[in-house]
Structure 1
Amino acid sequence: MRHRPNSRRTLALSCAALALAALPGCRTQNAGVEFAPATEPSEQCVGSRPAGSLPGRDAADAEGDPAFPTYVHIDTTLRERHSDVYTGVEAGDDVTVLDVYRIPSAAFDKDVCGSAEKGVTVRLHNTDINRERLEALAERVTDESDRWESTFRIASIGADAKGYVLVGVDEPHLALPVLEREFGAGHIRVEREERASLLTG
């Protein structure tokens, strides 16, 4: 199977309100403008665009991985076109399903669903931060990462597709309150990760 780009480099309106009602497979799961948990899609649509019809792609790109051309198109062309609302895209074990995270936007959703190739299901999730702001936050955490060496050690920092900066630390219970106090609680998540040591013989 083809390796997809790393998403760590890496909305809730009804289909009618998003002018998506005419798109095949679009259905509303949570109407209204209230943010839903990132794990629950607010909308989803099933692509009808012929395979190989996306600019710069052909049917061979989707061999064994039908969602790959749509993934690349979203994470390049639509990411640039809708940088004010785009957060990220994620592919799981099901090669026909993509999870797209964005600030609610009718124009973005219409572009995403209109570009999805036939048989690809796109699940749209709400966030409240775009990719540029998320990566800027990750850079801020990186710039300050040496400040807390005496309390905890940071092993890795990265922006994920869902709208969070993931920070790998050796002592998550110590790191989380400090990082939330410094950078805000909304977009920081910590996970246990030991920093690799340099061994000398």
Structure 2
Amino acid sequence: MCYHGLIAAGFGGQGVMLFGQILSLAAMIDGKYTTWLPSYGPEMRGGTANCTVIISDEYIASPVLDEPTEVVAFNIPSMLKFEKNLKEEGLLFINSSVIDRKPSRKDIHVIKIPASEIADEIGNPKILNMVMLGAYLKATEAVSHDSIKEALERKLIGKKKDLLKLNLKAIEAGMREVVK
């Protein structure tokens, strides 16, 4: 059975919500059940933002997660807030470009991705969310690569259509980083 209960968290403006939307849309394209539940801090940019995504082969009773199977932390406050709730043996993805400390728990698996550095190398710091998405996809195989591409094509419309190749490049870079 496929089940992924994920919390992605960071500062507003880091692309946390788009990360969750693309993942949830890709799950629908793959024919899975999914929920996406956003949560914003009081500020528009620079405040806290997180979203919960559940992906399952079975009907999902509630979009609320008490014990996620995976946490994707874009910054230190997010790691500190959500690491403690992560399921034992769960996956903690951290943006090691900005998180300079080790998680406190020893009963989880930590995947360090220098997402901000990779995004800068590709040429756009705003795509760090797609680097993290690529790492998440490679480690979990929660959805197919084709469904992610289709989800991006559906989401990046109008002027944003030009960003498709850049976002796919960032996803590929994140996937390669997990293999290292």
Question: Do both share a fold (TM > 0.5)?
Answer: no
Question: Over alpha carbons, which structure has the higher Rg?
Answer: 1
TM-score of the superposed pair, with normalisation by structure 2: 0.27
TM-score of the superposed pair, with normalisation by structure 1: 0.25
Bigger fraction of residues in helix: 2
